[in-house]
Chain A
Amino acid sequence: MNELKQYFYFLIIPLIVIAIYFLNPADIFVNGNELSFVSILISCFMIEYFIQKSKNGEDIYLRPIPAMKAMEEAVGRATEMGSSVLYVPGIAGLDEIDTISGVIILGHVAGMTAEYESDLHVPCCVPIVMEAARESCKEAYLKKGRPDLYNDRMVHYVTDDQFAYAAGVNGIMLREKPAAIFYQGKFYAESLILAETGNSVGAIQVAGTGSSSQIPFFVTACDYVLIGEEFYAASAYLSGSPEMIGSIKGQDYVKLLCMLFIGAVFLFSIFNYFEIFTFDMMTLFKINIEGYSVN
């Protein structure tokens, strides 16, 4: 991507949009949440910039995550011992971002089980997730050239209720004694029942979730844990798609902006107090929409 085109897209266009927004011709924009508009715009253009960058094949550096290497090792161990791989995609629906990441990582793990020819078992808690998981496994087995190994029985629905699902998956663990168990998705209180039973079955457990209240249990009872954002980065790694890796890189730089913003707000509050620089940052932070109510 030559320099000029790049600058045009990622510098001039956002400035034009912001100018239009603040001019607010014919009052098309609601006022009151300017800061939200500007921050959404900046983050989206930054993520878009890195997605384009990784789409053009420029190599993007992302530090290695220890739990990622463990996944390959876990499936390998399961194949050596001739036992199955159990994949638990969490109990939330597809509107939950963690479940989407869980389904992406499932695609990768399914690719590995296709390669190693070990059998995979995916009990689902939500019908839509079951559909998406079946699609994702079918794609993975197709890509590895082993559509014959895939059958719909691998991915099945247990129940909508959190605890009946945990009890159901426990039953599967005790009966099949899988050597590798993956918990990738959105989990609530049932994570400990699963991890404890998985521990007693003696399986390598690799967990990954964004629900931070369940991470302490996974940290205590599992061998490897993807904590919060590492979980999202992992699904980007695994998908290998330029959009995913580009957006992880974009997120990193938006995080850098957040840190700078925190520093700026902190410094301004000190300057403000000592009257070196009188600009009250707080007026910036208005996020509720004025003047427009629907009814």
Chain B
Amino acid sequence: MFIKRQLAIIVMMSMGFLALSGYFLNFPTLREFTDKDAPQWYMIIAGFAAFLGCVNLLQLHIQKVAKKQENWQYSIFTLLGFLVMIVFGFIYKNVDAPWGAHLKDDGSAFYWMYNFVYLPLGSTMFALLAFFVASASYRAFRMRNFEATLLLISGVLLMLGRVPVGAIIPWWVVLFMYISFIFAIIASKIKDKRIFFISFLSTNIIGLVLGTQLKWNITAPLFLSIPSIQEWIMAVPATAGSRAIMIGIALGILAQSFRIITGRERSILGD
């Protein structure tokens, strides 16, 4: 039983320790292994893992066709697609480039299949997302609480600031956005609706008058132009949030890798 359970754990632990100590120890043989051979072996095993995936996919779809499971007719297309790519990849290359280089030679049938079947399918799958983002923005994106409102406002400001149309949004519209944001926060504090609306309108008018006095209509200050607001959002709050998440995730990965190297992470090997 030892071989099945413990040996694999020992291999995992020793590989982890070797890879880490490769950065610190000065032994040439160790450095030779960690910097040259181990990465090569890793790449070769990862290549076999890709084969495993393809063979497993074949197995799945062949079973689907053999047992006539639901939607089995479509699985024939998968098998056909796979077969055509294998034939063009290994048997028929219709171009005289050496084997392997023919995959990228624009005369070969493999390249033709990539250019006119894989490329459109792959890019259109992704383009579908624009439609889903639109419907998700419309149906799923709600100002449920103050945090969601912050997320919404920084998202909208960023979307407008990054495209040329953001630069032509006039200063008083941005001023109106500032004022309505402040009033949205204090709205719950003021009970009487009439006072709320009157004060809201008056601050807007004061802002407009002040703006024209200070010649904002000629040279709008930075805090009133959406592209520079967007640049500030990216440079300060977004950087702070990303940095905190980055440190947090790095610590998570550090702890998980520590458990792998000390052989405590059993579930990966299924023990």
Contact = CB atoms under 8 A, between A and B. Distances in A.
A and B touch in the complex (CB under 8 A): yes
Interface of A: 27-30, 33, 36-37, 40, 43-44, 47-48, 51, 93-94, 97, 100-101, 103-104, 107, 126-128, 130-132, 134-136, 138-139, 156-161, 163-164, 166-167, 175, 189, 192-193, 195-196, 199, 210, 212, 216-217, 219-221, 227-229, 231-232, 239, 241, 243-244, 247-248, 250-251, 254-255, 258, 289, 292, 294
Nearest to A254: B251
Contacts of B262: 48
B231 interface: no
A104 B267 contact: yes
A250 B256 CA distance: 11
27 contacts: A28-B27, A29-B25, A33-B23, A48-B258, A100-B268, A103-B267, A127-B53, A128-B49, A128-B52, A132-B270, A138-B270, A160-B53, A164-B125, A166-B125, A192-B129, A193-B128, A193-B132, A216-B155, A220-B140, A221-B136, A231-B252, A232-B255, A243-B264, A250-B255, A251-B255, A258-B251, A294-B31
A143 to B, nearest CB: 12
A239 B255 CA distance: 15
Contacts of B20: 40
A127 B56 contact: yes
A102 to B, nearest CB: 11
B120 interface: no
Contact of A157 (B23, B53, B140): B53
Contact of A217 (B23, B32, B136, B269): B136
B26 interface: yes
A100 B247 contact: no
B242 interface: yes
Interface string B104-142: 000000000000000000100110110011011001111
B5 to A, nearest CB: 12
B245 A228 contact: yes
B255 A132 contact: no
Given A157-B57, A216-B151, A294-B31, 6 more contacts: A36-B23, A43-B254, A130-B56, A220-B141, A243-B264, A258-B251
Nearest to A36: B23
A256 to B, nearest CB: 11
A33 B24 contact: yes
B257 interface: yes
A131 B249 contact: no
Interface residues of B toward A: which range? 35 or more
Nearest to A131: B270
B59 to A, nearest CB: 9
A196 B23 contact: no
Interface in B11-44: 20, 23-27, 31-32, 35-36
Contacts of A139: 267, 270
A100 B270 CA distance: 11
A103 B252 CA distance: 16
Contacts of A254: 251, 254
B245 A212 contact: yes
Interface string B152-189: 00010000000000000000000000000000000000
Closest 7 CB pairs of A and B: A135-B270, A163-B125, A232-B252, A247-B255, A229-B248, A127-B53, A243-B264
B36 A157 contact: no
B24 A29 contact: yes
A294 B32 contact: yes
B50 interface: yes
B60 interface: yes
Contacts of B84: none
Given A100-B267, A196-B136, A294-B36, A229 B251 contact: yes
Contacts of B151: 216, 219
Contact of A47 (B53, B132, B155, B258): B258
A228 B35 contact: no
Nearest to A292: B26
Contacts of A43: 251, 254, 258
Given A157-B53, A157-B60, A160-B53, A29 B252 contact: no
B95 interface: no
A37 B24 contact: yes
A93 B53 CA distance: 11
Contacts of B27: 28
Contacts of A101: 256
A196 B140 contact: yes
B129 A210 contact: no
A229 B142 CA distance: 25
A24 B155 CA distance: 52
Given A126-B53, A232-B256, A30 B24 contact: yes
Contacts of B49: 93, 126-128
B49 to A, nearest CB: 6
Contacts of B135: 196
